[in-house]
DNA sequence: TTTCTGGAACCAGTA
DNA sequence: AATACTGGTTCCAGA
C-alpha cells in the first residue's frame, strides 16, 4: 500500500520539481567530475535562492525598507562587477549582504516556480492540515502539503526539534502582527527588481505572507492560480516517506516505501507529513548531485555580492527602518515573513503579539501540544524558569533587525561579542527521526561559551543562536541544519526557540549578573533531509557534502539614542556528518602558511583523522581550475598521529619564482577522502619580505600576521592569549573605533568571529566603508585559515580597486582567506564573489573561516619543534588534538619588517601583472 | 524512562 | 553491465 501511495505522490511531485531540476541540471553540466566529489557546494547559480540560502532575499528584506534606491539591475550588476560596486561594497555593507540578487533577475522561470505558493493559504492551512495528515495515509495522498519549506518556512514544523516552528508561524498571525505593519511604512519603496512582478495591491506586497504571489514574480497573472497549482505542484501531498529522490534520500525513500529496514516507514509517512521539511516538489530526478564548478561558483558568489551591495546601499539610505516589502519576491518575503511570526521577532505590540501568538498557537494547534515533540508554541511556553523573563520586551525585537544572512561585526564601539570557548570541530547532528544527539560541546568537554563585552547596562539582553554555513561564501543560515534546543537536567542555560526567516533561532539570555556570558549547553544541531530542503522552492544549495556549519551568535543592543547595534560572532566550523567526521581528514591548523619556493621546511598540521598513509598534496591551479602543478609532500610517517601530521614542504616547481605563488594543499586519506584545501604560499627565495611603501598599517599587518599566524586557525579561542591586535576589527578599523581599546585585553576573537563592527545606523555603515580595505588586509592574517575543498582552487581574491599597491594585493590574497570568516566577509564580500582571481576557487565547499596568513614572515617549524608540538598536543588532556599554544609557531616566528632587498624590476613587473590581472578580470565581469 | 551516543545497516547514486 | 564506493538516512543497542 505504501508503495502505491508513493507512486502517486511522486508523480505529483515531479511536476513541482521540474523547473528546479532543470536548472540544476544546467549547473550540473558545468561541473567536472573531479570537483564533484569535493564540491558540495551548494549553490546553483541558475536557480533563485529564495530561502535562507538566498542571501539576496534577506538583503532585499532589509533593503526594501530603505527605499527604492536600488534597482534590480544594480543588484545584478553589483554581483558581477565588484569594481563598480567596490566603493559601495567596500563599505561595511558589502560584506553584509551576501545575496543572490542577481539570481532574481535571472531566469524568471524560477521565480514563477516560486510563486507557486499560495503560501498564505498554504500556511494557514498547513497547520490544520498537519493534523489531518498525521492522522492517516489518506490524508497524505490527498492533502496538499502546506509547508514544504520546512524549517525555512516558518509554517513548517520540525518534528525533531519541535513542532513548534510550524504552528506559530502560521501566516495569519504573522501578518497581522509585526511585519505587516512594516509594509505600510512610508519608506516602502517598490522593489524595483525585475524579479518582482508587477505589484499587486500594495497591501499584498507588504504582507509577506498573504501575498505570496503578489510581490513575487509569481504574482503575475499567469501565476496567479497558484494556489491551486501549488497544491498540485508545489505542494503535492507528499507523505513524509515519499521523500524525493534525492541522492541522499535513498534511505529515506526506502523507509517510506517500506523497503529496507525502515520499519518506520508507515508511521513515517504520517510523520513525514507533519514534517515541515517535506519537499513540496520532489523531483523525479531526485536531487541531483550538483557540484558547483568554479565558474558556477563565481557566478553565484557574485550574485550574493550584488545583493549585498544593494542591501548596503539601501541600508545607507535608511536609518535602520525596515520596510518589508514591496519588491521582494513573494517567495522571498514569504520566507522571511513566515518566520516572522515568531513571537520574539515581532516588533510592535510586543506584549500583545506575544500573547496573541500564543493564543493563536494554542487554538490552531491544540493537537500539536499533545505531540511528543515540542511544537513551536510549546517550546515557547516551555521555556525553563529562569531569572530572565522572556516575556520582557526585547529591545531587539524589531523588524529592522538584520536578516540572518547579513554579515555583522563582532564588535562595535564598546561592545564586543566573543566566543570564549569554541565548539568542537565535530558534532554529529541528529535527524528528525533520531533522538537528540545532545548539545554541541566544546573541545574541552564543556560547552561553548559566548560573552558580550562592553555592555554596562543592567538590562539583560538576548543572545540569538542559529546554525550558519561554513563554506567560503558569506555566512548565512544553513539550509540543511537547524539549531535544536536541548533541555534536561544537564542543561543549565535557559533558552527558547523562535523561527526567523525559515531558520530556527535559539534565544538565550545574556545577563549582567553573569557578566553577559552564556554557556551554550542548550544547543544541538538538527539535520534536515537533503531531499526535503533541496526540493524546496527557492532552495539552491545542495545538502550533499554540505555538512559543515557554524554556530552563529547575535546580540542586538539598543542604545540610548534608539539605535540598535547588532553584533555577530560565528564559531569555528563544525562537521556535522557522522561519516565525514569519521573519515575525512580535517586540517584545523597549519604551522606555517608560506615558505621559500625551495621548500624543505617542515610544517605541522593539526587536525583530525590523519593516518599513517595520509598524503599531503600541494596543488597549484590556474584560474580556470586546471592543474598547473601538483606534487606530493613528504610526510613524516613516524610522527603521524590522528591529530597531527608533519610534512616537509616540497619545493615549488619554479624555485626561482620572483613573486609569491599561492597554492593549495590538502591531506588525502584515500580516493575521496580529502581534507579541504589549505592555502599555502611559496615566496621568492630572495624576497623575504615585501614592502613597497611605508605604511603605517604595515606594522600592524605584519604584526598581526605573525601573531595570528601561529594560532590555530579554527580553534583559536579563548585559550589563546590575545594579541594586542587580536581582533582584526580593532586594528582594521582602528581609525573608526569600533572596538574599545580594552578589546586588546579581551580574549582573542576567533577568526570567524573576527568581524567588525556593525551598527545598523547608516552612520555606522559609512564609517566602515573606508575601513574595509584595511580591514581586509589586516584581517587576512588574522583569519588565518582558509580551507577549500580539493577540487576547487582557492584563490586569492582580487584586491579592491582602490588598493592596488603591490603590497595590498599580495595581502589581499591572503586576506581572501578571511573571507571565510564571517567577520572578514562582512567587509569583503565582494572579493570572494567577484574576484576574477578567485574564479578558480569557487569552491562551493564549506570552508573554514579564515585564511592563511600571507605573511612572508611566517616561519616554519623545525622538525624537532614540530615533533615537540605534536607530542605536546597529544598530551593535552581535553583534546588530544589540540595544539598547545606555546607550541605555536607564532612564538617562533620572527617578525621582520624589511625593505625589499632585491626588489628588482622583474619582481615589480610581476606584481604589476598581478594587479593588472586582478583588475582586468574584475572589470571584465559583466555587470549585467 | 528518556536522552545521548556510537555503530552500522540500507540504499540509491556514482565512479 | 557489473562492482565497488560514497554518503545520506534510519535503526539498534548500550550507557
Per-residue pLDDT tens digits for A579-601: 887 777 878 789 999 999 999 99
CB contact at 8 A, A751 and A821: yes
Residue A225 CB neighbour total at 10 angstroms: 12
The nucleotide closest to A31 (CA, C1' atoms): B14
Burial of residue A370 (number of CB atoms within 10 Å: 0-12, 13-18, 19+): exposed
- Of all protein residues, which has its CA closest to the C1' atom of C10? A262
The nucleotide closest to A268 (CA, C1' atoms): C10
CA distances from A909 to A659, A808, A837, A906 (A): 9, 15, 18, 5
**Within 7 A of a protein CB, which nucleotides of strand B?**
3-15
CA A428 to centroid of chain Cα atoms: 18
The nucleotide closest to A247 (CA, C1' atoms): B13
Give the DSSP per-residue string, A766-793: HHHHHHHHHHHHHHHHHH---EE-TTS-
pTM (global) more than 0.95:
no
- Of all protein residues, which has its CA closest to the C1' atom of C6? A672
The nucleotide closest to A289 (CA, C1' atoms): B13
pLDDT of residue A169: 31
Residue A395 CB neighbour total at 10 angstroms: 17
Residue A638 CB neighbour total at 10 angstroms: 8
**Amino acid A586 CA to nucleotide B5 C1' distance, rounded Å:** 22
- Alpha helix locations (H) across A535-645? 578-583
- Of all protein residues, which has its CA closest to the C1' atom of B10? A260
Nearest-5° Cα angle at A188, A187 to A189: 110
Residue A410 pLDDT level (bands cut at 50, 70, 90): very high
Residue A834 grid coordinates: 567577484
CB contact at 8 A, A163 and A371: yes
| Rg for chain A, CA atoms, rounded | 25
- CA A51/CA A559 separation, integer angstroms: 31
The cell 583588475 sits on which residue? A919
Q: What is the mean pLDDT of residues A326-344?
A: 28
pLDDT at A908 over 50: no
Question: In A113-174, which ranges are E strands?
Answer: none
pLDDT of residue A180: 22
Residue A8 pLDDT level (bands cut at 50, 70, 90): very low
The nucleotide closest to A488 (CA, C1' atoms): B3
Residue A821 grid coordinates: 570568516
pLDDT tens readout for residues A889-907 = 333 332 223 323 322 333 3
CA nearest to A278, candidates A172, A372, A173, A140:
A140
Quote the percentage of chain A above a pLDDT of 90: 14
- Of all protein residues, which has its CA closest to the C1' atom of C8? A248
- CA A419/CA A722 separation, integer angstroms: 13
Residue A399 pLDDT level (bands cut at 50, 70, 90): low
Return all residues near A134 (Cβ < 8 A) that are at least 6 apart.
Answer: A270, A271, A273, A274
Return all residues near A214 (Cβ < 8 A) that are at least 6 apart.
Answer: A199, A200, A201, A204, A205, A207, A330
Which one-letter DSSP state was computed for residue A757? -
pLDDT of residue A553: 95
Nearest-5° Cα angle at A667, A821 to A548: 40
Residue A184 grid coordinates: 505600510
Residue A671 pLDDT level (bands cut at 50, 70, 90): low
**Amino acid A437 CA to nucleotide C14 C1' distance, rounded Å:** 15
pLDDT tens readout for residues A286-323 = 333 333 333 233 233 333 333 333 333 333 322 332 33
Residue A43 pLDDT level (bands cut at 50, 70, 90): very low
**Amino acid A262 CA to nucleotide C10 C1' distance, rounded Å:** 6
pLDDT of residue A851: 30
**Amino acid A764 CA to nucleotide B13 C1' distance, rounded Å:** 49
- CA A211/CA A203 separation, integer angstroms: 8
The nucleotide closest to A265 (CA, C1' atoms): C10
pLDDT at A434 over 70: yes
pLDDT tens readout for residues A230-283 = 332 333 333 333 333 333 333 333 333 333 333 333 333 333 333 333 333 333
Nearest-5° Cα angle at A193, A190 to A194: 120
Categorise residue A280: left if φ over 0, alpha if ψ from -120 to 50, beta otherwise: alpha
**Amino acid A759 CA to nucleotide C15 C1' distance, rounded Å:** 48
CB contact at 8 A, A830 and A735: no
Give me the residues near strand C, CB below 7 A. A 37, 40, 243, 246-252, 255, 261-265, 268, 431-435, 480, 527, 529-532, 543-547, 577-580, 583, 670-673
**Amino acid A593 CA to nucleotide C3 C1' distance, rounded Å:** 41
Residue A482 pLDDT level (bands cut at 50, 70, 90): very high
**Amino acid A647 CA to nucleotide C1 C1' distance, rounded Å:** 43
**Amino acid A789 CA to nucleotide B13 C1' distance, rounded Å:** 21
- CA A242/CA A535 separation, integer angstroms: 12
Q: What is the mean pLDDT of residues A376-402?
A: 43
CB contact at 8 A, A122 and A147: yes
CA nearest to A769, candidates A303, A415, A316, A410:
A316
Top mean-pLDDT range of A363-372, A620-629, A883-892: A620-629
Q: What is the mean pLDDT of residues A484-497?
A: 86
pLDDT of residue A695: 30
pLDDT of residue A596: 92
- CA A915/CA A801 separation, integer angstroms: 9
CA distances from A555 to A323, A366, A408, A453 (A): 21, 33, 10, 11
**Amino acid A836 CA to nucleotide B2 C1' distance, rounded Å:** 54
- CA A809/CA A811 separation, integer angstroms: 5
**Amino acid A256 CA to nucleotide C11 C1' distance, rounded Å:** 14
**Of A360-364, A431-435, A539-543, the least confident:** A360-364
Residue A115 grid coordinates: 510563486
Give the DSSP per-residue string, A134-172: HH-HHHHHHSPPS-SSGGGSTT--BTTTBTHHHHHH-HH
**Amino acid A441 CA to nucleotide B6 C1' distance, rounded Å:** 16
Give me the residues near strand B, CB below 7 A. A 33, 36-37, 245, 247, 250-251, 253-254, 259-261, 286, 288-289, 428, 430, 434-439, 441, 486-488, 524, 578, 582
CB contact at 8 A, A102 and A298: no
Nearest-5° Cα angle at A913, A908 to A917: 155
Residue A498 grid coordinates: 523562535
Q: Indicate the average pLDDT of chain A.
A: 49
- CA A760/CA A554 separation, integer angstroms: 13
Q: What is the mean pLDDT of residues A453-462?
A: 93
CB contact at 8 A, A277 and A248: no
**Amino acid A716 CA to nucleotide B10 C1' distance, rounded Å:** 39
pLDDT tens readout for residues A90-106 = 222 233 333 333 332 23
CB contact at 8 A, A314 and A75: no
Q: DSSP 3-state assignment of A605?
A: strand
Residue A287 grid coordinates: 536531487
The nucleotide closest to A434 (CA, C1' atoms): C10
The cell 580591514 sits on which residue? A775
pLDDT at A145 over 50: no
**Within 7 A of a protein CB, which nucleotides of strand C?**
5-13
- CA A455/CA A515 separation, integer angstroms: 9
3-state helix, strand, coil in chain A (%, to 5): 40, 15, 45
**Amino acid A296 CA to nucleotide B10 C1' distance, rounded Å:** 33
pLDDT tens readout for residues A857-866 = 222 333 344 3
CA nearest to A790, candidates A585, A537, A548:
A585
The nucleotide closest to A672 (CA, C1' atoms): C6
pLDDT of residue A440: 92
The β-bridge relationship of strands A430-431 and A496-500 is: unpaired
Residue A662 pLDDT level (bands cut at 50, 70, 90): very high
**Amino acid A726 CA to nucleotide B9 C1' distance, rounded Å:** 48
pLDDT of residue A212: 30
Q: DSSP 3-state assignment of A838?
A: helix
Amino acid at each position: 500500500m505504501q508503495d502505491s501511495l508513493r507512486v502517486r505522490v511522486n508523480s505529483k511531485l515531479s511536476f513541482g520539481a521540474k523547473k528546479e531540476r532543470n536548472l540544476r541540471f544546467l549547473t550540473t553540466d558545468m561541473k567536472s567530475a573531479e570537483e564533484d566529489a569535493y564540491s558540495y557546494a551548494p549553490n546553483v547559480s541558475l536557480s533563485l535562492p529564495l530561502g535562507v540560502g538566498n542571501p539576496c532575499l534577506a538583503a532585499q528584506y532589509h533593503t526594501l525598507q530603505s527605499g527604492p534606491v536600488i534597482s534590480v539591475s544594480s543588484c545584478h550588476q553589483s554581483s558581477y562587477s565588484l569594481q563598480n560596486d567596490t566603493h559601495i561594497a567596500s563599505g561595511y555593507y558589502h560584506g553584509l549582504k551576501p545575496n543572490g540578487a542577481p539570481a532574481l533577475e535571472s531566469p524568471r522561470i524560477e521565480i514563477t516556480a516560486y510563486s507557486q505558493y499560495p503560501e498564505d493559504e498554504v500556511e494557514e492551512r498547513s497547520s490544520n492540515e498537519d493534523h489531518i495528515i498525521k492522522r492517516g495515509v489518506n490524508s497524505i495522498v490527498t492533502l496538499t502539503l502546506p509547508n514544504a519549506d520546512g524549517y525555512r518556512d516558518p509554517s513548517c514544523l520540525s518534528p525533531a526539534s519541535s513542532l513548534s516552528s510550524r504552528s506559530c508561524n502560521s501566516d495569519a498571525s504573522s501578518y497581522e502582527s509585526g511585519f505587516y505593519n512594516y509594509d505600510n511604512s512610508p519608506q516602502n519603496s517598490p522593489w524595483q527588481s525585475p524579479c518582482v512582478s508587477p505589484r499587486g495591491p500594495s497591501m499584498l506586497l507588504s504582507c509577506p505572507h498573504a501575498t505570496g504571489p503578489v510581490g513575487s514574480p509569481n504574482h503575475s497573472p499567469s501565476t496567479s492560480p497558484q494556489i491551486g497549482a501549488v497544491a498540485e505542484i508545489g505542494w503535492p501531498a507528499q507523505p513524509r516517506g515519499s521523500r524525493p529522490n534525492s541522492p541522499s534520500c535513498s534511505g529515506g525513500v526506502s523507509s517510506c516505501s517500506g523497503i529496507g529496514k525502515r520499519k518506520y516507514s508507515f508511521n513515517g509517512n504520517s510523520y513525514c507529513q507533519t514534517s515541515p521539511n517535506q519537499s513540496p516538489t520532489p523531483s523525479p530526478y531526485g536531487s541531483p548531485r550538483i557540484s558547483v564548478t568554479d565558474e558556477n561558483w563565481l557566478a553565484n558568489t557574485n550574485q550574493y555580492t550584488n545583493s549585498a551591495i544593494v542591501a548596503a546601499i539601501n541600508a545607507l539610505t535608511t536609518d535602520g527602518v525596515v520596510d518589508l516589502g514591496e519588491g521582494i519576491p513573494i517567495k522571498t518575503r514569504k520566507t522571511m515573513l513566515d518566520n516572522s511570526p515568531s513571537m520574539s521577532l515581532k516588533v510592535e505590540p510586543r506584549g500583545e503579539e506575544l500573547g496573541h501568538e500564543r493564543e493563536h498557537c494554542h487554538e490552531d494547534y491544540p493537537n500539536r501540544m499533545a505531540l511528543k515533540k515540542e511544537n513551536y508554541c510549546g517550546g515557547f511556553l516551555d521555556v525553563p524558569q529562569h531569572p530572565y523573563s522572556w516575556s520582557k520586551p526585547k529591545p531587539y525585537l524589531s523588524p529592522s533587525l538584520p536578516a540572518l544572512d547579513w554579515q555583522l561585526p563582532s564588535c562595535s564601539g564598546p561592545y564586543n561579542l566573543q566566543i570564549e570557548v569554541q565548539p568542537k570541530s565535530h558534532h554529529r547532528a541528529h535527524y528528525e527521526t533520531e533522538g537528540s544527539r545532545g548539545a554541541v560541546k566544546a573541545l574541552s568537554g564543556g560547552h561553548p561559551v559566548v560573552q558580550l563585552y562592553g555592555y554596562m547596562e543592567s538590562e539583560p539582553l538576548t543572545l540569538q543562536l542559529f546554525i550558519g554555513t561554513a563554506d567560503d561564501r558569506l555566512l548565512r543560515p544553513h539550509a540543511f541544519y537547524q539549531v535544536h534546543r536541548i533541555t534536561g537536567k544537564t542543561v543549565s542555560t535557559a533558552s527558547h526557540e523562535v523561527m526567523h526567516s525559515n531558520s530556527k533561532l535559539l534565544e538565550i539570555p545574556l545577563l549582567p549578573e553573569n557578566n553577559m556570558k552564556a554557556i551554550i549547553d542548550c544547543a544541538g544541531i538538527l539535520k534536515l533531509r537533503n531531499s526535503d530542503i533541496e526540493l524546496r522552492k527557492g532552495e539552491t544549495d545542495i545538502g550533499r557534502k554540505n555538512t559543515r556549519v557554524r554556530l552563529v551568535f547575535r546580540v542586538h543592543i539598543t542604545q540610548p539614542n534608539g539605535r540598535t547595534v547588532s553584533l555577530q560572532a560565528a564559531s569555528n566550523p563544525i562537521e556535522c556528518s557522522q561519516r565525514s567526521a569519521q573519515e575525512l581528514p580535517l586540517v584545523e591548523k597549519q604551522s606555517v602558511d608560506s615558505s621559500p619556493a625551495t621548500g624543505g621546511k617542515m610544517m605541522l598540521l593539526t587536525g583530525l583523522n590523519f593516518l599513517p598513509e595520509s598524503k599531503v598534496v600541494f596543488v597549484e591551479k590556474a584560474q580556470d581550475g586546471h592543474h598547473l602543478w601538483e606534487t606530493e609532500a613528504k610526510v613524516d610517517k613516524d610522527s603521524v598521529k590522528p591529530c597531527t601530521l608533519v610534512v616537509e614542504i616540497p619545493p615549488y616547481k619554479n624555485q626561482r619564482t620572483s613573486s609569491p605563488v599561492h597554492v593549495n594543499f590538502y591531506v588525502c586519506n584515500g580516493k575521496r577522502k580529502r581534507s579541504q584545501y589549505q592555502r599555502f604560499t611559496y615566496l621568492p627565495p630572495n624576497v623575504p619580505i615585501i614592502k613597497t611603501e611605508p605604511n603605517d598599517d604595515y606594522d600592524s599587518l605584519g604584526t598581526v600576521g605573525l601573531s595570528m599566524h601561529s594560532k590555530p586557525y579554527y580553534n583559536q579561542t579563548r585559550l589563546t592569549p590575545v594579541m594586542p591586535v587580536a581582533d582584526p576589527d580593532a586594528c582594521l578599523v582602528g581609525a573608526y573605533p569600533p572596538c574599545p581599546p580594552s578589546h586588546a585585553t579581551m580574549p582573542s576573537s576567533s577568526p570567524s568571529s573576527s568581524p567588525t563592527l556593525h551598527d545598523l545606523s547608516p552612520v555606522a555603515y559609512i564609517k566602515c566603508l573606508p575601513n574595509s580595505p584595511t580591514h581586509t588586509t589586516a584581517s587576512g592574517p588574522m583569519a588565518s585559515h582558509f580551507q577549500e575543498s580539493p577540487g576547487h582552487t582557492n584563490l586569492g581574491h582580487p584586491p579592491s580597486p582602490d588598493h592596488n599597491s603591490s603590497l595590498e594585493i599580495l595581502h589581499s590574497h591572503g586576506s581572501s582567506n578571511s573571507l571565510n570568516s564571517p567577520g572578514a566577509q562582512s567587509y569583503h564580500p565582494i572579493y570572494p564573489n567577484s574576484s576574477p582571481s578567485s574564479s578558480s576557487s569557487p569552491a562551493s565547499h564549506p570552508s573554514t573561516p579564515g585564511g592563511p596568513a600571507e605573511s612572508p614572515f611566517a616561519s616554519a617549524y623545525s622538525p624537532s619543534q614540530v615533533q615537540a608540538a605534536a607530542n605536546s598536543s597529544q598530551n593535552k588532556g581535553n583534546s588530544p588534538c589540540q595544539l598547545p599554544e606555546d607550541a605555536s609557531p607564532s612564538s617562533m616566528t620572527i617578525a621582520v619588517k624589511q625593505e625589499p632587498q632585491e626588489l628588482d624590476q622583474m619582481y615589480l613587473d610581476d606584481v604589476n601583472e598581478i594587479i593588472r590581472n586582478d583588475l582586468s578580470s574584475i572589470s571584465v565581469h559583466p555587470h549585467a
